[in-house]
Amino acid sequence: MKAEADHPKAPGSKADSKPDAKDNLQTLPLSEVEKKLGSSPDGLTQAEATTRLKQYGPNEIEEKKTNAFLKLLSYFWGPIPWMIEVAVVLSGIVRHWPDFFIILLLLVANATVGFWEERQAGNAIDALKARLAIKARVKRDGKWVTPPARELVPGDAIRLRLGDIVPADARLLDGDEISVDQSALTGESLPATRKSGDAVFSGSIIRRGEIGALVYATGGKTYFGKTAELVETAVTVSHFQKAVLKIGNYLIMLALAMVAVIIGLGIYRGEPILTVLQFALVLTVAAIPVAMPTVLSVTMAVGARLLAKKQAIVSKLVAIEELAGVDVLCADKTGTLTQNKLTLGDPFCLGEITPDQVILAGALASQAENDDTIDLAVLGGLKDKQALKPYQVTHFQPFDPVHKRTEATIKAADGSTFKVTKGAPQVIQELSANAAAVKAAVDKAVNDFAARGFRALGVARADGDGKWQLLGVLPLFDPPREDAKSTIATAAQMGVKIKMVTGDALAIARETAKVLGMGTNILDGATLGDSKTKETTAVTKSIEDADGFAQVFPEHKFHIVDVLQKHGHIVGMTGDGVNDAPALKKADCGFAVSGATDAARAAASIVLVAPGLSVIIDALKESRKIFQRMNSYAMYRIAETLRVLLFMTLAIVIFNFYPLTAIMIVMLALLNDGAILSIAYDNVTYRNQPEAWNMRLVLGIATVLGLVGPIAAFGLFYLGDRIFHLGHPQLQTMMYLMLSVAGHLTIFQTRTRGPWWSTRPLCLRLVSRD
């Protein structure tokens, strides 16, 4: 493959005909790569990028979409359509032309409705996926911008940070080495170290560090041929869907048993075999939940659209059903329970160090362009905004969850150099030479700050090649969100226990929990094991009873979720960082909170685009409504199938009378189920308890309704046949109308948990408002 076939060539350069030119860009010296790409660490101009985008196409893998016409034809293929099609053929053979054309029309209508509804659901999911598309930090016209990653082109200079998903194949520019997680691409369990000049591949995740990179391959021309998918659609079958599918199988078996009775009796009585087979086929069709897949997909898609309006984007549709059963929510403190708007308090200083000196050292160890809330708070604490001008940062090491600190090498105006660092107090103390002498005073200051709800930040300095000296402690206050307390109370009323999970000190966690009314039974993360630990009964009980967890590491979060799940809880988890990803994926329903990293969003089931917990409460309410709609449909479908099958079978066996024609049965099956699609939009009242699939209750209620139906049907049949002496066609018409109306009324009985009139349907609500 030629170089210019895959990559832009430098202006005026000659074609490179080497077959492995693409691989050369991965291994050539960086200066040669820049020449071949016609670019530099300063990036491209917007005009150049636009031209290259037209030439090389978007940075995405072309998705093969099924032809719409072929998709429509697929609705005529499968066990259910086959049965209806055989019924059409049998109608033609016995020359029942009205039945032939009406059944054919209903077959086409059912396929068209199913195709349209699934297409609408697919469009909704595509729209949600577009909102979740990752963005890249790219240098264009000398300025950093954040266009969608699909607009990247070879030659672009990008910036990679902790938690980013690498958007394209790129060569690392000058900077410190980084740690890259390639497990999703290569299966390697441990992150790989990459330094300046090395290649990083599309789809891998930055686990540590920050560095610039030069894109050399995009889209289908990347090394692995595809980028990491951020969104999964409804491919996985959830517990609830499995239960509904079991109901479908049960109904089919019931239908086949009764149809076998009808066929055997028809043959025994000497009835025309084709007529008996046609009737048996359409009766089987009536028992099969024809619209079940459509009802499921439409209900899920409608729920996803409603949640999107409430700032919760569903990336895995089955999470909506799982969320309905969540009874424990492990919530991150910063930015979820608190405002994530840090303000700097009065520093604690050691010896003759002044507050301004501590703040200045902390500010020098911060970077405004990182848009980090802690860095911005420290920089905002400077009284003199020009105080940083005499200093030049020659090297900066960003924060990472392992080292828990930032570090900068500084060159002063007089030419001297020194280093400054800020981070977790215990980390800075371990680093400092004077830690032993000041430990008691520093610990007291940290505890005093924590008792008042302040986070503490240690600050140290090292002159030249000298040892680190602890300067003092910066207090940072992150006030609770205004809606947090009421939201936690609402969750408790809904049967959901919210547990705080934070890396902050125990005292801070207790103070915050106390203010929010969560309880103060906070466990220290250091006392917990990891995913390989099998906790004792006592420890497990303490995790279940805890109001929260402090000083936790990523492995603790995963372990907490695992222990709770093993003891019967349906667990939700919020997170925002790359190290939250395992716990988010482990949880039954993972939430990536507002501002989360790409890695966290990729692991989560639901992505929140608005801060706080109130969005999750809205999602809980909506998921429980969706569960109730599905519950209603399941009971309706069982009851209606029992009603029709029992009535038809008993009428044929006892009275030797076919109460419905074949065409009436098909109309009853398809038109009733088509109307039930409206349940996806129905107005329902959610329960203030986590939902769980109660098959015994569903089957019990449905069976009662299914047995009462034939009694009423035979009563009407008796009146029409024995009292009013109606003819067979009139009796069949009357019974069809009765079963059709009764089927629609059944949904009114199954859609509410109280009296059927307790909750008005959505259509009645709309009429009353108009």
CA-CA-CA-CA dihedral for 354, 359, 365, 370, to nearest 10:
180
Which positions ≥6 away from 79 have C-beta within 8 Å? 288
Pairing between β-strand 312-314 and β-strand 469-477 as defined by DSSP bridges:
unpaired
**What burial class does residue 720 get, using C-beta atoms within 10 Å of its C-beta: 0-12 exposed, 13-18 middle, 19+ buried?**
buried
Q: Alpha helices of 368-519 — where are they, by DSSP H?
A: 373-380, 425-431, 435-451, 484-493, 506-516
Taking alpha carbons only, the member of 201, 166, 219, 170 closest to residue 55 is: 219
CB 648 within 8 A of CB 522: no
Distance, CA of 23 to CA of 223 (rounded, Å) = 9
CB 642 within 8 A of CB 511: no
CA-CA-CA-CA dihedral for 330, 544, 555, 593, to nearest 10:
0
Which positions ≥6 away from 169 have C-beta within 8 Å? 26, 199, 200, 201, 202, 215, 216, 217, 218, 222, 223
Q: Read off the tokens for 100.
A: 């032939």
Query: How far lies 45's CA from each of 54, 139, 142, 153, 317, in Å?
Result: 15, 8, 8, 11, 40
Considering just the CA atoms, what is the radius of gyration of the chain in Å? 33
Q: Read off the tokens for 19.
A: 């077959």
**What burial class does residue 594 get, using C-beta atoms within 10 Å of its C-beta: 0-12 exposed, 13-18 middle, 19+ buried?**
middle
Which positions ≥6 away from 77 have C-beta within 8 Å? none
Q: Which of 332, 400, 504, 598 is catalytic?
A: 332
Q: Read off the tokens for 72.
A: 């429509």
The distance in angstroms from the start CA to the end CA of the chain is 66
Give the sign of the dihedral formed by CA 484, CA 485, CA 487, CA 492.
positive
Q: Is 327 a catalytic residue?
A: no
3-class secondary-structure state, position 180: strand
Query: How far lies 748's CA from each of 633, 635, 743, 759, in Å?
Result: 11, 11, 9, 9
- What does the DSSP 8-state code read for residue 383? S
657 residue type, one letter = F
**What burial class does residue 197 get, using C-beta atoms within 10 Å of its C-beta: 0-12 exposed, 13-18 middle, 19+ buried?**
middle
Distance, CA of 428 to CA of 424 (rounded, Å) = 6
Q: Read off the tokens for 86.
A: 């055989």
3-class secondary-structure state, position 303: helix
* Apex 265 CA angle, 263 and 269, nearest 5: 115
Q: What b/e sequence results for 548-557 when a residue is b if at least 16 CB atoms lie within 10 Å of its CB, and e otherwise?
A: bbbbbbbbbb
Pairing between β-strand 522-524 and β-strand 211-217 as defined by DSSP bridges:
unpaired
Which positions ≥6 away from 323 have C-beta within 8 Å? 572, 588, 589, 605, 606, 619, 620, 623
Distance, CA of 601 to CA of 608 (rounded, Å) = 9
Could you list the active site residues? 332
